[in-house]
């Protein structure tokens, strides 16, 4: 019992540490413009909002707004069309990558697991090596290929590499290794072809792994920064993750913009966390 209490206390401390910045952003998004400017401008105001110790200035933070207002959200959604445009750009990048991963990863994993190709394990090892490479290393060949295909300045320069990401194939094949393939062999004996086996037999069995893949793919591509900055030429094409960096100086709106940006990721994670845990654990067929 003592061990459980200690573990619970440690985990609670970590949870508070990680959730505290989100809580600050949430509460500050309901502050008025005047209150935020009084707290976060680089001037020492009457009332000791800022105070100095040995020449270093500190701010007296208040987690709870003195007057709750929805003005930040109203301005953000009604007076800043560029924000909604950036939101659409994020969806237009993340959604095709998710659909592409769904259509590519399972058939590729099926080919690796069911084929009798002599060098398939060596090819799969290359997949793993590419997956473990830092993103910054892969950006250079991606840029060269996008330039060669004439895709620079287009969302497709980001979408196509995301669709063929090796992580999805790796996750699907690891899941296949932990489950029985008797259903697929029985389907082959009944005359089903490979496509029929993939989309009518394999895909239903891979639901936990596919759910985990979709959640992780959405979170990764919702937070893209390097790829849009490198591949896109127009500000109007920027996703929300990149547009937020341009709002750093707009202290009166940055809290509402940041919290609104967190909402889709939080909804996807909270809705699908059970599928994600089950898929990552590779529990197999029940």
Asked whether 114 and 184 are in contact (CB, 8 A), the reply is: yes
Judge if 188 and 232 occupy the same domain.
yes
Judge if 100 and 215 occupy the same domain.
yes
Domain that holds residue 21: 2-69
pLDDT band at 44; cut points 50, 70, 90: very low
- Would you say residue 269 lies in a domain? yes
Distance CA 165, CA 167 (A): 6
> What mean pLDDT, rounded, does the chain reach?
81
Give the domain-ending residue among 40, 69, 98. 69
- Would you say residue 36 lies in a domain? yes
pLDDT band at 142; cut points 50, 70, 90: confident
CATH (domain of 200)? 1.10.3720.10
What 3-state DSSP class applies to 269?
Answer: helix
Judge if 37 and 82 occupy the same domain.
no
- The pTM of this model reads 0.80
pLDDT at 207: 81
Report residue 12 as tokens.
């609670």
258 has a pLDDT exceeding 80: yes
**Beta bridge partner(s), residue 57:** 52
What 3-state DSSP class applies to 62?
Answer: coil
Alpha carbons within 13 A on the beta-carbon side of 16: 6
- Would you say residue 129 lies in a domain? yes
Report residue 55 as tokens.
């020449």
Give the domain-ending residue among 29, 49, 69. 69
Distance CA 129, CA 108 (A): 17
Distance CA 67, CA 49 (A): 17
Give the domain-ending residue among 38, 69, 100. 69
pLDDT at 30: 86
Residues 6+ apart with CB under 8 A from 258: 25, 29, 244
Asked whether 255 and 61 are in contact (CB, 8 A), the reply is: no
Instruction: Give mean pLDDT, residues 64-76.
Output: 83
Judge if 113 and 168 occupy the same domain.
yes
**Beta bridge partner(s), residue 58:** 51
Judge if 172 and 262 occupy the same domain.
yes
Instruction: Give mean pLDDT, residues 121-134.
Output: 83
Judge if 125 and 201 occupy the same domain.
yes
Distance CA 266, CA 11 (A): 20
Judge if 152 and 267 occupy the same domain.
yes
Judge if 62 and 173 occupy the same domain.
no
3-16 per-position pLDDT tens digit: 889 999 999 999 99
177-236 per-position pLDDT tens digit: 767 677 777 877 777 777 788 777 788 878 888 888 888 899 889 988 888 988 988 888
| Nearest C-alpha neighbor of 97 from the set 276, 257, 223 | 223
């Amino acid at each position: 019992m003592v061990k459980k209490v200690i573990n619970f206390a440690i985990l609670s401390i970590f949870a508070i540490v990680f959730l505290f910045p989100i809580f600050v952003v949430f509460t500050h998004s309901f502050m008025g413009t005047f209150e935020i400017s009084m707290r976060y401008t680089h001037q020492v105001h009457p009332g000791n909002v800022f105070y100095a110790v040995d020449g270093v200035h500190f701010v007296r933070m208040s987690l709870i707004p003195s007057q709750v207002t929805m003005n930040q959200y109203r301005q953000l959604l009604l007076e800043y069309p560029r924000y909604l445009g950036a939101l659409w750009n994020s969806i237009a990048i993340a959604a095709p990558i998710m659909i592409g991963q769904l259509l590519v990863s399972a058939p590729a994993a099926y080919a690796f697991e069911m084929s009798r190709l002599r060098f398939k394990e060596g090819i799969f090892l290359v997949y793993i090596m590419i997956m473990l490479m830092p993103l910054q290393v892969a950006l250079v060949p991606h840029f060269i290929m996008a330039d060669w295909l004439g895709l620079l300045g287009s969302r497709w320069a980001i979408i196509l590499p995301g669709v063929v990401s090796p992580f999805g194939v790796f996750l699907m094949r690891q899941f296949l290794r932990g489950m029985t393939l008797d259903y697929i062999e029985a389907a082959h004996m009944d005359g089903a072809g490979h496509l029929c086996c993939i989309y009518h037999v394999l895909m239903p069995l891979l639901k936990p792994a596919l759910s985990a893949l979709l959640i992780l793919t959405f979170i990764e591509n919702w937070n893209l920064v390097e790829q849009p900055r490198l591949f896109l030429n127009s500000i109007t094409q920027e996703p929300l993750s990149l547009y937020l960096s341009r709002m750093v100086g707009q202290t009166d709106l940055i809290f509402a913009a940041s919290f609104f940006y967190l909402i889709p990721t939080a909804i996807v994670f909270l809705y699908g966390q059970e599928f994600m845990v089950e898929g990552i654990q590779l529990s197999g067929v029940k």
